[in-house]
Amino acid sequence: MTARPARLSAPWSTDRLAARRPHLQRRARLRAEIAAFLAARGYTEVETPILQPCPGMEPNLDPFATRYVAKIGMEERPLFLQFSPEFAMKKLLAGGAGPIFQFARVFRNGEAGPLHQPEFTLLEWYRPGLDLAGLMDETEALIRAVCPEGLRRGGLVVPTDRPFLRLTMAEAFARLLGVDLLATADDALALAAAAGEPLRPADTWQDVFFRLLLGRIEPAIGRDVPCFLTHWPASEAALARRDPADPRVALRFELFAAGVELANAYEELTDAAEQRARFAAWREERRAATGEDRVPDEDFLAALEAGLPPCSGIALGFDRLVMLATGAARIEDVLWLPVV
């Protein structure tokens, strides 16, 4: 008897594609429904290049690098597959594009698992004049409109027809751990002691913070209704502006449901000098950790200097939303062709 070729178990094989087809059909409907929702609110869909001079400055993310060689003049320079279309979309905002959204292909080297692929889809949208609270309202309305049946993972069903919970990071640490997070003031020993968390020799405050967040805060929220975790410590501001009412925190939220982080959002930093300083710090952190010298996107900084309007923006994991809409167990179950 001839052995069955191994290729028949590939992701494109008849049996495996047929098993994914209901999820993929829901994926197509969900994308169309989201686009219609945003268009009805005055957003324009845009497309920006996947190849960028800088993939993003986050020191904890590893890029895919390429090398561009021009046919004329033989110019040669590195280009990267983007972590996010954020830089490009903010350039459009600075140019007066108005409310915009995009389903973007993005890339993170080394990522794989039930919730991770090295190539995936982010839904990002930005609206000038919208504050963080307004963006939470809009995000909640979108999720409720396109997933009225709730969000599912494993045996858990999280309803979307009730108001989503909104917790500041300080409130979450106080309620769930009994910790006054902001009082620890970048003191790793104080934070670990307050939470009863062992302190490892090389731990920074950020190490302890994220260990508590990932291990004890995130698993406890978003199980009854989706939860916005807002007002992050200023050290974790990323590209968000600090809260004028309390500079210890940044105007940032993440959205959680059924044990999954769905979205990350900012009331955007528009100060070019502060953004340049943050990039310089991240550049040095990355260089010290890996030896890589990641050069910031000067065109993006020039756009900030030209004038990014006050705005808020969000990156929502579209593949993860499809997972929760369908009850799929793994991200590969909602992809036409998984990479890994």
Q: What is the rounded average pLDDT of the residues 34-60? A: 96
Written as one letter, the residue type at 213 is L
Partners of residue 285 on adjacent β-strands = none
Confidence (pTM): 0.93
* DSSP E strand stretches across the chain: 44-45, 51-52, 64-69, 76-81, 100-107, 119-128, 151-153, 156-158, 165-168, 227-233, 242-243, 246-257, 260-267, 311-317
pLDDT for the residue 27: 98
**Sign of torsion, CA 259 148 314 32?**
positive
Contact in structure between 54 and 301 (CB atoms under 8 Å): no
Q: What is the rounded average pLDDT of the residues 110-124? A: 94
Answer whether residue 136 shows pLDDT above 70: yes
Instruction: Give the β-pairing of 76-81 and 100-107.
Output: unpaired
Answer whether residue 72 shows pLDDT above 80: no
Structure tokens at 213: 């967040």
Condensed to tens digits (0 to 9), the pLDDT of residues 274-284 reads: 999 999 999 99
Of 215, 200, 182, 229, the closest CA to residue 191 belongs to 182
What is the pLDDT confidence band of residue 11, given thresholds at 50, 70 and 90? confident
Answer whether residue 333 shows pLDDT above 60: yes
Which stretches within 132-271 are classed as H helix?
132-146, 169-177, 188-195, 205-212
Condensed to tens digits (0 to 9), the pLDDT of residues 78-106 reads: 899 999 999 999 999 999 999 999 999 99
Condensed to tens digits (0 to 9), the pLDDT of residues 140-162 reads: 999 999 999 999 999 999 999 99
pLDDT for the residue 8: 55
Of 71, 89, 27, 24, the closest CA to residue 317 belongs to 27
Condensed to tens digits (0 to 9), the pLDDT of residues 183-199 reads: 998 899 999 999 999 99
Answer whether residue 37 shows pLDDT above 90: yes
Map tokens 């756009």 to a residue.
303
pLDDT for the residue 215: 95
CA max distance for the chain:
75
pLDDT for the residue 21: 95
Q: What is the DSSP string of 270-295?
A: --HHHHHHHHHHHHHHHHHHHS----
Map tokens 């508590």 to a residue.
212
pLDDT for the residue 71: 67
Task: Give the torsion through C-alpha atoms of 28, 29, 34, 35, to 10 deg.
Answer: 70
Residues 6+ apart with CB under 8 A from 226: 140, 143, 151, 158, 160, 164, 165, 255, 256, 257, 262
pLDDT for the residue 15: 86
Distance CA 339, CA 236 (A): 30
Distance of alpha carbon 159 from its chain centroid, rounded? Answer: 22
Answer whether residue 110 shows pLDDT above 70: yes
Distance CA 238, CA 10 (A): 39
Sheet holding 64-69, edge to edge: 51-52, 76-81, 64-69
Q: What is the rounded average pLDDT of the residues 157-178? A: 97
Condensed to tens digits (0 to 9), the pLDDT of residues 289-314 reads: 899 899 999 999 999 999 999 999 99
pLDDT for the residue 1: 47
Answer whether residue 74 shows pLDDT above 90: no
| Neighbour tally for 287: CB within 10 Å | 13
Distance CA 48, CA 302 (A): 18
Domains of the chain as residue ranges with CATH: 12-164+225-334 (3.30.930.10)
Answer whether residue 328 shows pLDDT above 80: yes
What is the pLDDT confidence band of residue 2, given thresholds at 50, 70 and 90? low
Distance CA 166, CA 92 (A): 30
pLDDT for the residue 31: 98
pLDDT for the residue 241: 97
- pLDDT cut 70: percent of the chain above it: 96
> Would you call 52 helix, strand, or coil by DSSP?
strand
- Mean per-residue pLDDT of the chain: 94
